[in-house]
């Protein structure tokens, strides 16, 4: 899209705003968010709304389901956040997002956790293969990137074949955090560090070299180019306040 064309559209959008809409009517933003970023983004949204009258809708799902929903028209959003490159590539390939608009603002790390009150002690990774660990929860590798990273890590550690009979998957990270918190003493789970809650206890950090770098990818959808709310919000996301929230939630908040 040429620059002249885009500013022309903005002008039109502004005119439409002035002529036809009541001044009090707030703009709207729809965010399709990888589950792991949901809490942090809601905080960012709340902060943003203190200074700007805008309705923000949050659609939280695993990245794969978001990508496929957007591609099939079952979901509509202005901004898409994927927890890995694969699902962002998918929407780019489907022509929904321009490659040039994709940014990678945050990173994350994986940890092995057990329920907060669990007596289970795990000090070395190969202890996962012992009988006292009866069940290991990971994300669904197909649609939830934190599961894909977990599987890569277990494979790299040479553990996958030994523990795969204990694996149970969850569709998204919020579900996993919840089931893990409510699980029995023989259960452990692998999730993003940012999604640890006070009902979970971290036992081991996953070696970063065991999996692809964990990076988030964020992009506006081409179809949302006319939304006047888009640019200011993207600007706010890049700002210090937003990055501070992400850092506090346990993300690596250095953009790449």
How far is it, in rounded angstroms, from Cα 65 to Cα 70? 8
Q: Can residue 132 be called a binding residue for other proteins (CB under 8 A)?
A: no
Nearest distance from C-beta of residue 79 to other proteins, angstroms: 17
Nearest distance from C-beta of residue 121 to other proteins, angstroms: 23
What's the chain's Rg over C-alpha atoms?
A: 20
How far is it, in rounded angstroms, from Cα 227 to Cα 13? 8
How far is it, in rounded angstroms, from Cα 106 to Cα 197? 20
Q: Can residue 123 be called a binding residue for other proteins (CB under 8 A)?
A: no
The 184-223 site mask, x for binding other proteins (CB under 8 A), equals ----------------------------------------
Return the SS3 of 154: helix
Calculate the CA dihedral of residues 105, 155, 127, 150 and round it to 10 degrees: 30
Contact predicate 237/56, CB 8 Å: no
Query: Would you state the structure tokens that stand for residue 205, as one six-digit string?
Result: 């950090």
Q: Can residue 229 be called a binding residue for other proteins (CB under 8 A)?
A: no
Q: Can residue 95 be called a binding residue for other proteins (CB under 8 A)?
A: no
The 41-70 site mask, x for binding other proteins (CB under 8 A), equals -----------------------xx-xxxx
Residue numbers of the site for other proteins (CB under 8 A)?
64-65, 67-76, 138, 140-143, 147, 151, 164-171
């Amino acid at each position: 899209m040429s620059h002249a064309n885009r500013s022309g559209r903005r002008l039109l959008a502004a005119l439409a705003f002035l002529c036809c809409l009541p001044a009090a009517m707030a703009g709207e933003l729809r965010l399709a968010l990888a589950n792991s970023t949901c809490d942090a983004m809601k905080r960012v949204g709340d902060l943003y709304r203190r200074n700007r009258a805008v309705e923000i809708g949050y659609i939280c799902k695993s990245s794969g389901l978001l990508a496929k929903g957007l591609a099939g028209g079952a979901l509509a959003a202005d901004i898409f956040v994927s927890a890995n490159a694969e699902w962002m590539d998918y929407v780019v390939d489907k022509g929904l997002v321009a490659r040039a608009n994709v940014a990678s603002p945050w990173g994350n790390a994986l940890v092995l956790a057990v329920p907060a009150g669990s007596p289970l002690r795990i000090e070395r990774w190969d202890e996962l293969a012992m009988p006292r660990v009866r069940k290991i929860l990971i994300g669904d590798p197909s649609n939830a990137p934190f599961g894909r990273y977990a599987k890569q890590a277990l494979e790299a550690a040479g553990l996958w074949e030994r523990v795969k009979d204990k694996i149970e998957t969850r569709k998204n990270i919020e579900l996993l955090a919840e089931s893990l918190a409510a699980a029995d003493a023989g259960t452990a789970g692998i999730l993003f560090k940012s999604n640890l809650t006070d009902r979970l206890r971290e036992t081991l950090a996953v070696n970063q070299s065991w999996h692809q770098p964990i990076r988030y990818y964020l992009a506006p959808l081409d179809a949302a180019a006319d939304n006047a709310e888009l640019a200011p919000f993207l600007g706010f996301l890049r700002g210090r306040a937003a990055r501070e929230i992400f850092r506090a939630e346990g993300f690596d908040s250095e953009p790449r």
